[in-house]
């Protein structure tokens, strides 16, 4: 029998079985059959072998059949999905930071401070690893602190100036002030002028020049401002709570702190720690962990997982 | 009702449809279907491993003989060569059931000789009734690769058949 006719017959068998509902295909197939009886014979031969091959026997490849193996090809999609989910779980801790990066208008990278001047002439010093979103509208000037610490020299302008962080709003009245925030703690210090801090469900709190106030989950308290907090090579902690202390360390070290449980709100740290080398950074982290009774669960490039010692 | 009668009743319509299409002749197809029923009655039902496949195998062989007779009749009309007609008619014998059984054995043996992946493809398409796309998804390979495997497998199986029917 002509080999090309046999090959055509095999192709037709494959196509017709693959698309039994395709009427145009079926018509073309019948037209091919009608050309010559050799076509019909060739197709019958294919039917004979495929029918014989379909005789139910014991699976000759039973032990090696794909669904008996761990990596069943049919489950490839499942394995891919599991791998994807695992990768996503690993990346999940970074998600808030990516969201912040996406929203931010100005970012200071880890280990590098930055100063920007807004269109109204206000100066903003961003500590290392700080991100802010800026909204300068015709009726208001608003800075949203996404993470880190900013010190702002507010330019005089008819429009009110406000800094937002979570449920806290700092309304400026022509001044220079600093705000740093981490977890549930926020600290506001004023160098010049006066600000008014409003938090949801609380009365407005005025803070005058030379004053500083700290809010945590436990409430608020007046604190002394750490004037040397940004001194090169030094971490200055002045009555600092755990959340802000570790955030301060992380911003200089260029890492991201993730708390597995809420950080302790009561303990405070007054200390100056040198951070001029990687060894001193690690020593500073160990000192903070010891002082606040924190377990460093995981410390790798970019991320430090922390949990209060139980 | 015998086991063969019940099986025939269940599958006669499907066999009739296939043969009508392949032969392009409703009358010839009907003859083949009826002849299939008669030939099955001579076979011990319990001796057949897959009665349904055997039924179709007999039917297809009858259709093939029918086509050959048709071809010879045409040739005879033109050439007057009645010897060939006699030779072909001899194939339409009670041995056809044996031929069908033998074909199945030959194809099964040829199937066992196929490479593992090719055998998997044939198994999924013919035994589990998957389409080429479904087979491709099951094995994690492309539909084109499945089609190539099927084409190669059919070629090898047809070779085993032609050893019996040149």
pLDDT of residue A1: 60
Mean pLDDT along residues A199-226: 82
Q: Is A47 an 8 Å CB contact of chain B?
A: yes
pLDDT of residue A71: 45
Residue A231: its pLDDT value, please?
A: 61
Tens digit of each residue's pLDDT (9 = 90 or more) over A45-85? 999 989 988 875 655 455 444 444 444 555 677 888 888 88
Q: What is the least distance, in Å, from the CA of A90 to any CA of chain B?
A: 27
**pLDDT classification of A284: cutoffs 50, 70, 90:** very high
pLDDT at B85: 46
Closest residue in A to B51 (Cα–Cα): A55
Q: Check A13 against B60: CB less than 8 A apart.
A: no
Chain A residues inside the 8 Å CB shell of B158: 6, 10, 45-46, 49
Position A154 pLDDT exceeds 60: yes
CA distance A180 to A113: 14
In whole angstroms, give the CA distance from residue B157 to residue A138: 82
Cβ-Cβ contacts under 8 Å between A and B: the total is 132
- Determine the pLDDT at residue B78: 52
**pLDDT for the residue numbered A97:** 67
Cα–Cα nearest to B67, from B121, B21, B13, B28: B28
Among A33, A44, A61, A64, pick the best mutation site for testing chain B contact (most B Cβ within 10 A): A44
pLDDT tens digits, residue range A17-44?
888 888 889 889 999 999 888 899 999 9
pLDDT surpassing 60 at residue A280: yes
Which whole number is the average pLDDT over A182-211? 85
**Chain B contact present for A11, CB below 8 A:** yes
Asked if A113 and A99 count as a contact pair (C-beta separation under 8 A), the reply is: no
**pLDDT in the model for residue A287:** 92
**Cβ B21–A14 below 8 Å, yes or no?**
no
Which residues in chain B have Cβ-Cβ distances shorter than 8 Å to A25?
Answer: none
Rounded to whole angstroms, the maximal C-alpha distance in chain B is 57
* Range 63-82 of A in CB contact (< 8 A) with B: 64-66, 73-74, 76
Partner-chain contact A74 B139, CB within 8 Å: yes
pLDDT higher at A300 or B9: B9
Strand partners of residue A107: A131
Q: Are the Cβ atoms of A49 and B107 closer than 8 angstroms?
A: yes
**Which residues of chain A does B64 touch, with a Cβ-Cβ cutoff of 8 Å?**
41, 44-45, 48
Contact A61 B67 (CB under 8 A): no
Asked if A21 has any chain B CB less than 8 Å from its own CB, the reply is: no
Nearest to A195, CA basis, from A160, A220, A229, A157: A160
Residue A49 CB coordination number (10 Å): 30
Q: Tens of pLDDT along A111-124?
A: 677 888 888 888 89
Q: Does A203 touch chain B (CB under 8 A)?
A: no
CB-nearest to B154 from A10, A44, A56 is A10
With CA atoms as reference, the chain A residue closest to B125 would be A54
- Rounded to a whole number of angstroms, the distance from the CA of B14 to the nearest CA of chain A is 13
Look at residue A184 and tell me whether its pLDDT is greater than 90.
Answer: no
* Residue A242 neighbours by CB under 8 Å, 6+ apart: A263, A264, A265, A267, A269, A288, A292, A294
Both ends of chain A: CA-CA distance in Å? Answer: 84
pTM recorded for the entire structure: 0.46
Sign of CA pseudo-dihedral A287, A291, A297, A300: negative
Greatest mean pLDDT among A159-163, A169-173, A191-195 lies in: A159-163
User: B96 vs chain A: nearest CA distance in angstroms?
Assistant: 13
**Chain A residue closest to B131 (CA)?**
A18
Nearest chain A residue to B19, by CA = A44
Question: What ipTM score was computed for the predicted complex, to two decimals?
Answer: 0.86
B60, B119, B137 member nearest A44 (Cβ): B60
- The mean pLDDT value for A130-150 works out to 88
Q: Chain A residue with minimal CA distance to B15?
A: A47
The H or E element containing residue A194 is: strand A185-199
Mean pLDDT, rounded, of chain A: 82
- Would the pLDDT of B19 be above 80? yes
Average pLDDT over residues A259-286: 86
DSSP string, B14-31: HHHHHHHHHHS-HHHHHH
What is the predicted pLDDT for the residue at B91? 46
């Amino acid at each position: 029998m002509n080999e090309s006719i046999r090959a055509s017959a095999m192709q037709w068998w494959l196509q017709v079985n693959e698309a039994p509902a395709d009427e145009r295909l079926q018509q073309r197939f019948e037209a091919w059959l009608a050309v010559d009886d050799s076509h019909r014979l060739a197709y019958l031969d294919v039917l004979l072998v495929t029918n014989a091959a379909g005789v139910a026997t014991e699976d000759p490849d039973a032990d090696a059949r794909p669904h008996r193996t761990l990596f069943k090809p049919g489950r490839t999609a499942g394995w891919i999905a599991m791998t994807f989910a695992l990768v996503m779980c690993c990346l999940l801790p970074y998600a808030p930071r990516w969201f912040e990066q996406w929203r931010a208008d100005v970012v200071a990278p880890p280990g590098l401070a930055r100063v920007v001047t807004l269109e109204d002439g206000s100066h903003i010093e961003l500590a290392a690893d700080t991100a802010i979103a800026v909204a300068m509208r015709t009726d208001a000037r608003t800075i949203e602190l996404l993470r880190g610490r900013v010190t702002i020299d507010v330019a005089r302008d008819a429009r009110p100036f406000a800094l937002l962080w979570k449920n806290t709003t700092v309304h400026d009245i022509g001044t220079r002030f600093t705000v740093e925030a981490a977890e549930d703690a926020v600290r506001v210090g004023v160098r010049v002028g006066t600000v008014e801090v409003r938090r949801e469900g609380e009365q407005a709190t005025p803070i005058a020049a030379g004053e500083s106030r700290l809010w945590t989950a436990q409430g608020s308290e007046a604190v002394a401002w750490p004037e040397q907090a940004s001194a090169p090579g030094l971490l200055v902690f002045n009555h600092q709570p755990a959340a802000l202390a570790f955030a301060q360390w992380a911003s200089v070290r260029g890492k991201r702190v993730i708390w597995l449980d809420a950080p302790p709100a009561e303990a405070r740290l007054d200390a100056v720690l040198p951070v001029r080398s990687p060894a001193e950074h690690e020593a500073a982290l160990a000192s903070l962990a010891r002082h606040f009774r924190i377990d460093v669960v995981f410390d790798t490039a970019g991320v430090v997982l922390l949990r209060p010692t139980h | 009702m015998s086991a063969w009668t019940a099986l025939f009743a269940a599958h006669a319509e499907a066999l009739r449809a296939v043969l009508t299409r392949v032969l392009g002749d409703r009358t010839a197809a009907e003859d083949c279907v009826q002849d299939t029923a008669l030939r099955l009655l001579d076979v011990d039902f319990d001796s057949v491993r897959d009665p349904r496949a055997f039924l179709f195998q007999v039917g297809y062989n009858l259709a093939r003989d029918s086509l050959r007779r048709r071809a010879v009749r045409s040739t005879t009309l033109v050439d007057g060569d009645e010897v060939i007609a006699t030779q072909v008619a001899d194939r339409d014998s009670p041995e056809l059931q044996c031929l069908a059984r033998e074909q199945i054995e030959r194809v099964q043996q040829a199937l066992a000789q196929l490479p593992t992946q090719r055998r998997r493809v044939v198994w999924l398409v013919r035994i589990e009734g998957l389409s080429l796309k479904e087979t491709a998804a099951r094995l994690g390979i492309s539909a084109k690769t499945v089609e190539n495997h099927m084409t190669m497998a059919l070629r090898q199986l047809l070779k085993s058949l032609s050893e019996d029917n040149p």
